[in-house]
Amino acid sequence: MAVVEIRCPNNAARLFMKLKLEGKKPHINEDNLMEFACQDCRRIRRNLGEDVKLVLHRYDFLGTLVETEVT
């Protein structure tokens, strides 16, 4: 069994979750991504003077960061 840790790309100390994968690798497509709101990244951007309401990190089921959306 493989364990994949999902962490913030800007602060590796921030652990969002751990996935336990058994058997075959999951089929990945754009519709089955995991999305995490990151308070650390929002706070950093606000401290830099940006008007940020939400920072979302999207990951696939292999733990790879696909994109970050800032609103």
Tell me which residue of 4, 12, 9, 15 sits closest to 70, measured CA to CA.
9
Q: What is the pLDDT of residue 31?
A: 80
Task: Give the chain's domain count.
Answer: 1
Confidence tier at 30 by pLDDT (50, 70, 90) = confident
Instruction: Output the pTM of the full model.
Output: 0.87
Question: How far apart are alpha carbons 54 and 18 in whole angstroms?
Answer: 23
Confidence tier at 34 by pLDDT (50, 70, 90) = very high
Q: Which domain holds residue 12?
A: 2-70
